[in-house]
Structure 1
Amino acid sequence: MQPTPNPSAIAAAAATAAGAMLRLRSCIVSHLLSSPAAFRVSSPHRLLSAAAAPISPSQRFAVEDYLVSTCGLTRAQALKASTKLSHLKSPANPDAVLAFLAGLGLSGADIAAAVAKDPRLLCAGVDRTLASNVVGLTGLGLSGSDVALLATIAGEPFRFKSVVPKLQYYLPLFGSSENFLRALRKSSHLLTSNRDRVVEPNVALLRECGLAACDIAKLCMVVPRILTANPELVREMVACAEALGVPRGSGMFRQALQAVSFKSKEKIAAKASYLKKIFRWSDAQVSHAVCKAPIVLRKSNSSLQQRSEFFLSEMGLEPAYVAHRPALLSYSMEGRLRPRYYVIKFLKANGLLGQYRDYYNIVMLSDKVFMERFICPHKKAAPHLAKDYATACKGEVPANFRFT
C-alpha cells in the first residue's frame, strides 16, 4: 500500500521546482544579454520556450524585482515602470522579448533604456509583432545596427506594426536611415504624429516655399518638430521668415526658417535689438545682416558678445565690415576665427604675409587651402607655425602667438 502523499510536501516540492525553473530562465536571459551576438534573432526565443514552465499559483511574479534584477533598471525606474505591468503573471513573455532584443545586438544597457522608456515593450508579441517589424524594416534597407538603434530610441511605436509604413514614408524624405534616426533622437513625435493631417501638409508647404528634397532633409534634421507641428503654426513660421526679407525660393530660405522656428516675434525682435546694441549697428545694418545670415538669430547672447569683443575690440574691425559679412558670426571662435587671425598677425609681424589679405576671405577658405596658402610656404622661416596653429585650434595660445 502506497503512503498517502502529504499535500504540504507536494506544494513545497512544486514551489522548489518552479523556483529552480525561474532561476534557469533568468540565467539564460542573463547569458543572452551578456553575449547577444552569439544568437540569431529567432533562436533565443526558442531556447527560452524550451525552458518555460508554468508558475505555481502560490507564487506571484514580482514585476518590480524582475525589472531590476533581469532588465537592469534602477529601483526608481522599476517602481515607475511596474505600474504599467501589473497585469503580468509570468516572466515568459518578458524573457522572450529580452532574448529577442539581445538577438538584435542590443547591449544590456540599451535594453534597460528601451524598457524604461516603454515598459509595455515586455508585453509585445515576439513572433507576431517584433519579428515581423524587423523583417519589414530590414526590407526597407535598414541594417541590423539601424534596427537596434531604432529599438532603443523609438519607444512605444517600435512595438506596433505601423512603424514599417511610417519608415517607408520617412526614409525617402530624409534621404537615409542615418538622417532619419538622427532626427528621431531629437523628436520621437515623428513616429506618432498623424501623417495625413500633419506631416504631409507640412512637407507640402515646405515644397511650396521652394525647398528641394535635400533642403527639407537638412532643415528637419536640425528642427524635426517642424514636420510634426500644427500646420497653421508652420505657416506662421514661413511668414515670419519672409518678414526677415528672405524670399521663398532663395538659397537662404531654409536657414531663415530654421532661425525663426518655434520663436515668438518678441524673442526675434529682442535678438535683433541685442545685435544692434553690441555690434553698434543701425536698423538697416541689422536687417542686412539678418537677411544675409538668418542663423545669427539662433546664436546665444554670450556667443554674440564674445564675437563682438573679438571683431570690434581685439581686431579693430569696423561695425559696417561685420554687418556686410555676417557669415563671420557663424564660425567657431576657437576652431577658426581666432587661430587664423593669430596666424595672419604672426606672418604680418614677421614680414611673411606679403600683400594685404582680407580677413573675411581668409576665414572662408577651407582648412586644406588655408594650410596650403598660409602655413606650408613658411616651413623654413617658421617651422613651428603648423604646430602652433594646431595648438591654437584647441583653444590654447602658443607663445609665438602672444603679441603683447
Structure 2
Amino acid sequence: MLRLRESILCHILSSPSKAGFAPLRCLLSATASPPISPNPSGFAVEEYLVDTCGLTRPQALKASKKLSHLNSPANPDNVLAFLSGLGLSGADVAAVVAKDPFFLCAGVERTLVPVLDGLTGLGLSSPEIGRLVLLAHHNFRCRSIVSKMQYYLPLFGSCHNFLRVLQRSSYLLSSDLDKVVRPNVVFLRECGLGDCDIAKLCVRVSRMLTTNPERVRGMVACAERLGMPRGSGMLRQALQAVAFLNEEKIADKVDYLKNTFRWSAAEVVIALSKAPMLLKISKDMLQRKSEFLLSEVGLEPVYIAHRSVILCLSLEGRVRPRYYVLKFLKENGLVDRDLSFHTAVNRPEKYFMEKLISPHKEAAPHLAEDYATACKGEMPTNLRFT
C-alpha cells in the first residue's frame, strides 16, 4: 500500500501534464484544430482536455461546459498523476474524464488518496483499483465507496466477482446500502439463498439488489405462484426468469407454453419448476422445439413437462443432432433400445462422445464427422451415418 501511495505522490510531484501525457499531446498537435476561446483566466479548458487528457474534440467540447469554472491546470494535473500512478493507460484516463469530467476537480489529498488507502486496506490490488475507477465513475470520488466495498466484497466473494456485476450496473455503488441493498440481501437470505447464490443472481440480474425492496418481494411471490417456493433449489433461476417481467407478460407466456406443448395447468407448473428459464425463451423458438419434439421425435406432452430442461438446450446445436445419432444407433442395433432420449440429449458432450460416438468407429466410420457437422447446424438431407 505504501509503495503504491508513494508512486502516486511521485507522479503528482513530477508534473505529469508535461511528462507522462506529452506523447499524446504531440500526436494530437499534428492535427489542425479550430481556435479555442479561453476562459477569462487564460486557461483553455477544451484544449487541455484534448491535448493533455486525450479526449476527442466533440468529447472535449461537451466536457468543457461542465468545467468552465477551472482557471488552472494544477488540480487536473494532480488528478491525472493519480490516475497514471494507478497504472491507467492514456485511453483509460480519457475514458474516465469523458464519462465524468468532474473527476478532474476531485481533491487528490482530500478525497482520492484516502479512498486509495481505504481500498488497499481492504486488500484490493492496484489493477483492481484501476478497474474500479473505470467502472465506478463519479462514485470513486466519494469517500463512502470504501464502506460500500467493505460490505460488498464478502457478499460477492471477491473483487473480481463484484467488478463483473458493477460492469453491468454501476447502481451498486450509488444505491443506499441501509434502505435498499441490505434489506434486499436480508430478504433473499431469508428465502434460502446463500451469498454465493445472491452473487450468481446479480451477475444475471445486475439490478436485483438495487431495486425497491417491495419489488423484490413481488418477484419472489411471483416465483412462488409458478411453483418455486422459498427454500427451493430453483428459486435463484426462477428469480432470474421473472425479474422485471410484469404479470401480464408472464401470464401470456404461461398460456403459450400450455397451448404449444399441450400441457395442463398442473403440467406447466411442473415444467416451470424444473426449468424456470422457459419464460425467457422466445415464442418462435418454443414453437420450433414443440414441432420437433412432439411431431418428429414423437414425445408425449407429459414426458416433456417432467423433463423440461431439454427445452433450454440448443435445438440445432445439440438436441436435433443427438436425436439423429440415437435413432441411427438404435436402428442398427448398436445401443440398447431402452436408452432414453432424455439421457442422450441431457448428458455432457464428453459423456455423449465417449458412450455413443467413439465406441462405434468401426461400425459407423462417418458417425463422428456427421455428428460434428450436424452440431454446426449443417444437417445434410441424407446423413452419412453409414
Shared fold (TM-score greater than 0.5)? yes
Aligned to 2:49: 67
Indicate the SS of the match to 2:244. Answer: coil
Kept in 2, the 8 Å contact 1:140–1:168? The answer is: yes
- Which of 194, 201, 205 aligns to 1:223? It is 205
Aligned to 1:212: 194
Kept in 2, the 8 Å contact 1:68–1:75? The answer is: yes
Residues 330 and 47 from structure 1, CA distance in 2 versus in 1: closer, same or farther, beyond 3 angstroms? same
| CA distance in structure 1 between the partners assigned to 2:377 and 2:123 by the alignment | 42
Bigger Rg, which one? 1
State whether structure 2 residue 94 is matched by structure 1 residue 112.
yes
Aligned to 1:34: none
Alpha-carbon displacement from aligned partner over 1:233-281 (angstroms, at most 9, x marks no partner) = 1112221111112221111122222222211111110111221232232
Aligned to 1:83: 65
- Which of 147, 160, 163 aligns to 1:178? It is 160
User: Match of 1:245, as an amino acid?
Assistant: G
Aligned to 1:337: 319
| CA distance in structure 2 between the partners assigned to 1:41 and 1:141 by the alignment | 18
Kept in 2, the 8 Å contact 1:215–1:254? The answer is: yes
Residues 281 and 48 from structure 1, CA distance in 2 versus in 1: closer, same or farther, beyond 3 angstroms? same
Q: CA deviation at 1:177?
A: 1.4
Q: CA deviation at 1:64?
A: 2.5
Kept in 1, the 8 Å contact 2:367–2:384? The answer is: no
- Normalised by the length of structure 2, the TM-score is 0.84
Aligned to 1:247: 229
Indicate the SS of the match to 2:337. Answer: coil
| CA distance in structure 1 between the partners assigned to 2:305 and 2:146 by the alignment | 48
Q: How does 1:93-132 map to 2 (within 5 A)?
A: 93-132=75-114
Residues 237 and 112 from structure 1, CA distance in 2 versus in 1: closer, same or farther, beyond 3 angstroms? same
Aligned to 2:14: 47
| CA distance in structure 2 between the partners assigned to 1:258 and 1:50 by the alignment | 47
Aligned to 1:369: 351
User: Match of 1:215, as an amino acid?
Assistant: D
| CA distance in structure 1 between the partners assigned to 2:182 and 2:305 by the alignment | 38
Indicate the SS of the match to 2:267. Answer: helix
Kept in 1, the 8 Å contact 2:115–2:145? The answer is: yes
Alpha-carbon displacement from aligned partner over 1:348-401 (angstroms, at most 9, x marks no partner) = 455433433212112221222222111221233344444444444444336874
| CA distance in structure 1 between the partners assigned to 2:155 and 2:234 by the alignment | 20
Kept in 1, the 8 Å contact 2:318–2:345? The answer is: yes
Unaligned runs of 5+ residues in structure 2 are 1-5, 20-37
Unaligned runs of 5+ residues in structure 1 are 1-38
Q: How does 1:268-307 map to 2 (within 5 A)?
A: 268-307=250-289
Kept in 1, the 8 Å contact 2:17–2:77? The answer is: no
Kept in 1, the 8 Å contact 2:370–2:384? The answer is: no
Aligned to 2:33: none
Kept in 2, the 8 Å contact 1:343–1:401? The answer is: no
Q: CA deviation at 1:200?
A: 0.8
What is the root-mean-square deviation of aligned Cα atoms in Å?
2.8
User: Match of 1:169, as an amino acid?
Assistant: Y
Indicate the SS of the match to 1:340. Answer: helix
| CA distance in structure 1 between the partners assigned to 2:382 and 2:118 by the alignment | 60
Residues 236 and 44 from structure 1, CA distance in 2 versus in 1: closer, same or farther, beyond 3 angstroms? same
Alpha-carbon displacement from aligned partner over 1:51-98 (angstroms, at most 9, x marks no partner) = 59xxx9986222223323333333333332222211112223223323
| CA distance in structure 2 between the partners assigned to 1:350 and 1:108 by the alignment | 65
| CA distance in structure 1 between the partners assigned to 2:290 and 2:298 by the alignment | 10
State whether structure 2 residue 179 is matched by structure 1 residue 191.
no
Aligned to 2:34: none
The number of aligned residues is 363
Residues 364 and 144 from structure 1, CA distance in 2 versus in 1: closer, same or farther, beyond 3 angstroms? farther
User: Match of 1:44, as an amino acid?
Assistant: H
What percentage of residue pairs aligned between the two structures are identical?
A: 62
| CA distance in structure 2 between the partners assigned to 1:97 and 1:106 by the alignment | 12
151-160 or 299-308, larger mean C-alpha shift: 299-308
Residues 354 and 229 from structure 1, CA distance in 2 versus in 1: closer, same or farther, beyond 3 angstroms? same
Q: CA deviation at 1:295?
A: 1.8
| CA distance in structure 1 between the partners assigned to 2:321 and 2:89 by the alignment | 42
Kept in 1, the 8 Å contact 2:16–2:77? The answer is: no
Q: How does 1:345-364 map to 2 (within 5 A)?
A: 345-364=327-346
291-300 or 243-252, larger mean C-alpha shift: 291-300
Q: CA deviation at 1:335?
A: 4.1
State whether structure 2 residue 261 is matched by structure 1 residue 259.
no
Kept in 2, the 8 Å contact 1:346–1:401? The answer is: no
Aligned to 2:294: 312
Kept in 1, the 8 Å contact 2:254–2:268? The answer is: yes
Kept in 1, the 8 Å contact 2:53–2:90? The answer is: yes
